[in-house]
């Protein structure tokens, strides 16, 4: 540190490496603002010492597993002091000593100049580490970035980065926003603030529902089943795919049904992966809806509402048939009237059981 402090002070930047040989190699090549934490145990005291002379730290740890973990720990320490921080990643997994030896000091300086900020580093690392052509990979990258993103104070940076992240992962920006909000709720100690789901998506949801209570029921049943696959076995006998009024939502349910029938289980990711793009987008939209919190009782309520709407639709159909048959003394009138009576009784029983369930839950 004694040999580097003048250079660090003049440049306003310190390059932090792991080992002594990294420092020696850099200094021998004229890069003198390099210091070592001597291992991966970078401490808050070391950070405060650097803070006296530098406004920015560039982390240049090895990119093995230990180095990546140490990078995340060091980022937290440096950020807590309000210092700017960037993270250097060197090609081929080389450490700074090897990189300088192979490529020379000028190449190392160029790499330092292009070192990404913390958020970009986390995103780039995730993109390299996970297969983002799959839903699991997209989810893994998002999960890796969120702990850092929710600690960013600037709303402008948060907004811009969520947009960038959605573009790189090729997912709807509001899916990222929903994940962000979920992480904020689960980690209040991080001090993050909820972000707004865009009005465009609110309009999309409203348009998809068309002010229709049945659409709300369909969406929330699907959302619950996608989020909690274990619930499917309890509701499958109460729901038929034909009850769904919307073809896309019906297709999502049919895929859930198909996978469960084939293997006794499914995941939201597996269901989405099996769907064509337009229906996959509908499933993704449903998953990021921010309606009432879903639990088992809410699901039962939606299933009852779902069944009631289906019965009422059947009753209307048979009533219209009965009216038409009565005009022409059609012999099928008797069967149509019998169907209406049976459906009417079933509707009454369902309404009574729904009211009873609501009363019991209120006690």
Q: What is the DSSP letter of 192?
A: -
On the question of pLDDT at 213 being above 80, the answer is no
- Pull the structure tokens for residue 82: 């309000």
Which of 170, 195, 220 is the last residue in one of the domains?
Answer: 195
In a domain, 170, yes or no: yes
The confidence band for 69, taking pLDDT boundaries of 50, 70 and 90, is confident
The verdict on 313 and 284 lying in the same domain is no
Task: Give me the chain's average pLDDT, please.
Answer: 80
Which residue range(s) make up the domain with 91?
Answer: 4-115
pLDDT digit string, tens, across residues 268-319 = 888 988 999 889 888 887 876 655 455 666 666 777 777 787 788 889 999 9
Confidence (pLDDT) at 362: 47
On the question of pLDDT at 250 being above 90, the answer is yes
In a domain, 42, yes or no: yes
Contact 253, 284 (CB under 8 A): no
Domain of 134: which CATH number?
A: 1.20.50
Which of 96, 115, 134 is the last residue in one of the domains?
Answer: 115
CA-to-CA distance for 32 and 27, rounded, in angstroms? 5
CA-to-CA distance for 47 and 8, rounded, in angstroms? 13
Task: Name the domain count of the chain.
Answer: 4
Instruction: Collect all residues with Cβ–Cβ distance below 8 Å to 1 and sequence separation of at least 6.
Output: 35, 49
The verdict on 8 and 110 lying in the same domain is yes
Q: What is the DSSP letter of 211?
A: T
In a domain, 363, yes or no: no
The verdict on 110 and 9 lying in the same domain is yes
Size of the chain in residues: 363
The verdict on 191 and 144 lying in the same domain is yes
- Pull the structure tokens for residue 109: 């300086």
Domain of 278: which CATH number?
A: 1.10.860
The verdict on 58 and 144 lying in the same domain is no
- Pull the structure tokens for residue 27: 């200094």
Of 241, 226, 362, nearest to 301 by C-alpha is 362
The verdict on 205 and 280 lying in the same domain is yes
CA-to-CA distance for 79 and 190, rounded, in angstroms? 13
CA-to-CA distance for 273 and 267, rounded, in angstroms? 10
Confidence (pLDDT) at 337: 93
The verdict on 155 and 238 lying in the same domain is no
Confidence (pLDDT) at 358: 46
Category of 148 on φ-ψ map: left (φ > 0), alpha (ψ -120 to 50) or beta: alpha
The verdict on 181 and 224 lying in the same domain is no
Domain of 58: which CATH number?
A: 3.40.1360.10
Confidence (pLDDT) at 38: 67
The verdict on 160 and 256 lying in the same domain is no
pLDDT digit string, tens, across residues 140-149 = 899 889 888 8
φ, ψ of residue 240 to 5 degrees: the values are -120, 145
The verdict on 84 and 17 lying in the same domain is yes
CA-to-CA distance for 277 and 131, rounded, in angstroms? 18
C-alpha dist (Å) from residue 357 to 26, 285, 300, 302: 73, 30, 10, 12
Question: With pLDDT > 90 as the criterion, what percentage of the chain qualifies?
Answer: 13
On the question of pLDDT at 127 being above 70, the answer is yes
Which of 229, 261, 288 is the last residue in one of the domains?
Answer: 288
In a domain, 322, yes or no: yes
In a domain, 8, yes or no: yes
Span 228-240, average pLDDT: 82
The verdict on 324 and 275 lying in the same domain is no
Confidence (pLDDT) at 199: 44
- Pull the structure tokens for residue 169: 């992962």
In a domain, 312, yes or no: yes
**Cβ neighbours of 222 (radius 10 Å):** 24
Looking at per-residue pLDDT, the higher value among 209 and 281 belongs to 281
Span 23-49, average pLDDT: 82
Contact 215, 208 (CB under 8 A): yes
In a domain, 145, yes or no: yes
Q: Which residues of 224-249 are buried (b: 16+ CB within 10 A; e: fewer)?
A: bbbeebeebeebeeebeeebbbbebb
On the question of pLDDT at 330 being above 80, the answer is yes
- Pull the structure tokens for residue 206: 């409203």
pLDDT digit string, tens, across residues 144-188 = 898 888 888 778 888 889 889 988 888 878 788 888 888 888 877
The verdict on 129 and 184 lying in the same domain is yes
On the question of pLDDT at 200 being above 80, the answer is no
């Amino acid at each position: 540190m004694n040999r580097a402090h003048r250079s660090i002070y003049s440049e306003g930047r310190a390059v932090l490496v792991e080992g002594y040989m990294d420092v020696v190699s850099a200094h021998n090549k004229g890069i003198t603002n390099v210091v070592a934490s001597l291992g991966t145990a970078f401490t808050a005291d070391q950070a405060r010492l650097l803070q006296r002379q530098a406004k920015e730290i560039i982390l240049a740890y090895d990119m093995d597993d230990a180095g990546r973990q140490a990078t995340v720990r060091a980022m937290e320490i440096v950020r807590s002091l309000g210092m700017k921080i960037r993270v250097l990643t060197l090609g081929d997994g080389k450490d700074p000593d090897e990189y300088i030896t192979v490529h020379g000091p000028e190449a190392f300086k160029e790499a330092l100049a292009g070192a990404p900020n913390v958020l970009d580093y986390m995103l780039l690392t995730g993109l390299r580490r996970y297969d983002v052509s799959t839903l699991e990979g997209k989810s893994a990258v998002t999960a890796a970035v969120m702990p850092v993103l929710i600690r960013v104070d600037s709303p402008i940076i948060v907004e811009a980065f969520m947009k960038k992240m959605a573009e790189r992962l090729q997912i709807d920006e509001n899916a990222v926003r929903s994940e962000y909000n979920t992480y904020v709720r689960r980690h209040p100690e991080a001090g993050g603030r909820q972000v707004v789901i865009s009005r465009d998506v609110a309009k999309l949801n409203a348009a998809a529902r068309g002010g229709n209570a049945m659409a709300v029921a369909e969406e929330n049943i699907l959302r619950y089943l996608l989020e909690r696959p274990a619930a499917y076995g309890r509701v499958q006998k109460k729901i038929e795919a034909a009850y769904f009024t919307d073809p896309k939502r019906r297709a999502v349910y049919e895929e859930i049904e198909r996978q469960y029938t084939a293997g006794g289980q499914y995941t939201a990711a597996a269901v989405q992966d099996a769907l064509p793009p337009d229906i996959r987008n509908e499933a993704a939209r449903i998953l990021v809806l921010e309606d009432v919190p879903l639990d088992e009782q809410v699901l039962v309520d939606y299933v009852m509402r779902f069944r009631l709407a289906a019965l009422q639709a059947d009753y209307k159909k048979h009533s219209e048939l009965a009216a038409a048959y009565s005009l022409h003394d059609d012999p099928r009138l008797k069967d149509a009237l019998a169907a209406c009576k049976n459906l009417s009784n079933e509707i009454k029983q369902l309404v009574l059981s729904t009211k009873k369930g609501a009363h019991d839950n209120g006690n």
